[in-house]
Amino acid sequence: MKYSQGIFSDSYKLTPKKFDYYAATSLDEALSLLQEKEDAKILAGGQSLLALMKLRLAAPQALIDISKIEDLSYVREERGYLAIGALTIHDLIEHNETIRKRFTLLADAASKIGDQQIRNRGTIGGSACHADPAADLPTALLAANAQFVIRGHSGQRVVPAEEFFVDTFTTAVQPNEVLTEIRIPEFPPKTGSGYIKHSRREGDFAIVGVGAVVTLADGNICKDVRIGLGSVAATPIRAKAAEDYLRGKPLDDKTIIEAAERGPQGADPPSDMHGSREYRLEMIKVFIKRTVKLALTRV
């Protein structure tokens, strides 16, 4: 249903350019509107897109609001994975008991997003699709080996995290598609996880963010590990050199420090007002150590 046209006038500063607004009542309706409307964008929680529109950094001709589609908000266990609806808000992810107990890095990451008002509105799907490399949940989802369920008129496809984040503010979701679900494969026994970010103030975007998932074999030996890094490249990336070093070794202080020294390999952080490239490269090492140790305490 279309509610209004040209809500905001070009004569006002810090307001979006004129756009049409549609409130979809079902996923099928949202997909049909995406097909029909030229240069349309999906609106979920609006915490990222509306800010860009106010600054005129984004100017879609139409917004398709899917926030009232209740079928896209849930956390449930399926066979072999945890399913999270794309419209599930950050606050629910932070406080969901299953996530807090078994997929702890996601609760960690959600708890560090903005303030409580933002966590009450922002959605996991919106954060993933916005694809800000300094955002918390994309980094945690990469470390968790997440899969992204994308729906279009031609059907449904599932994209792994390492293929989902294409570039800064760019994902594998096409203009006529909608992200509907995020799947987290079940963690094996003796697995712990955590997410820590370094920022200037509580709730700020990360200067460096690190997510880690660690699985142990007998004797405190690292059976498997995944380490995600945020705010150090155009997309969240894996610290694969550090991961490769840890696998098959006892997870003591010496091994973790040696792995952390390899953490910056493949990173290409920017220099900005929050920190220089060199500073971020050093912080990668510091926060890999802290996050791996945190994950170990949760095995």
Q: Note whether 76 and 55 are same-domain residues.
A: no
If asked whether residues 152 and 241 sit together in one domain, one would say: no
For residue range 32-45, list pLDDT tens digits in order: 999 999 899 999 98
Question: Per-residue pLDDT averaged across 137-147, rounded?
Answer: 98
Same domain, 75 and 59: no
Q: Are residues 208 and 288 in the same domain?
A: yes
Percent of the chain with pLDDT over 90: 85
| CATH code, 40 | 3.30.43.10
Contact between 221 and 295 (Cβ < 8 Å):
no
Taking only the tens place, the pLDDT of each residue in 192-246 is 999 999 999 888 889 999 999 999 999 899 999 999 999 999 999 999 999 999 9
- What is the rounded CA–CA span in Å between residue 83 and residue 157? 15
> Pick from 156, 185, 214: which residue ends a domain?
185
Mean pLDDT of 52-57: 87
The pLDDT of residue 5 is 43
CB atoms within 10 A of CB 134: 22
Confidence of residue 55 (pLDDT cuts 50, 70, 90): confident
Angstrom distances, CA of residue 146 to CA of 108, 126, 251, 269: 16, 15, 25, 23
Write out the two tokens for 284. 């990668």
Question: Are 85 and 126 contacting, i.e. CB atoms less than 8 angstroms apart?
Answer: no
105 and 133 assigned to the same domain: yes
Dihedral sign of CA atoms 71, 74, 78, 82 in order: positive
What pLDDT score does 13 carry?
60
Quote the pLDDT of residue 271.
Answer: 94
Distance from the Cα of residue 238 to its chain's centroid: 14
Last residue within a domain, chosen from 150, 185, 220: 185
CA dihedral over 95, 97, 101, 104, signed as positive or negative: negative
Tally of domains in the chain: 3
Provide the pLDDT for residue 3.
42
* Residue 283 CA: distances (Å) to CA of 75, 229, 290: 33, 11, 11
Query: Does the pLDDT of residue 6 top 50, yes or no?
Result: no
Note the pLDDT tens digit of each residue in 80-133: 999 999 999 999 999 999 999 999 999 999 999 999 999 999 999 999 999 999
Beta bridge partners of 64: 22, 42
Range of the domain at 176: 70-185
User: How high is the mean pLDDT of the chain?
Assistant: 93
Cα 219 versus chain centre, distance: 33
| Boundary (domain end) residue, out of 157, 185, 213 | 185
43 and 91: one domain? no
Residues 129 and 22 in one domain: no
196 and 112 together in one domain: no
Question: Is residue 38 domain-shared with residue 117, that is, in the same domain?
Answer: no
CB 32 within 8 A of CB 17: no
- Count of C-beta atoms within a 10 Å radius of residue 10: 11
Report the relative pairing of strands 2-5 and 20-23 from DSSP bridges: antiparallel
Torsion angle defined by CA atoms of residues 259, 262, 265 and 267, in that order, rounded to the nearest 10 degrees: 70
Residue 45, pLDDT score: 87
- Do 81 and 61 lie in a common domain? no
Q: Can you say whether residue 210 is alpha, beta or left, with left for phi > 0 and alpha for psi between -120 and 50 degrees?
A: beta
CATH number at residue 278: 3.30.390.50
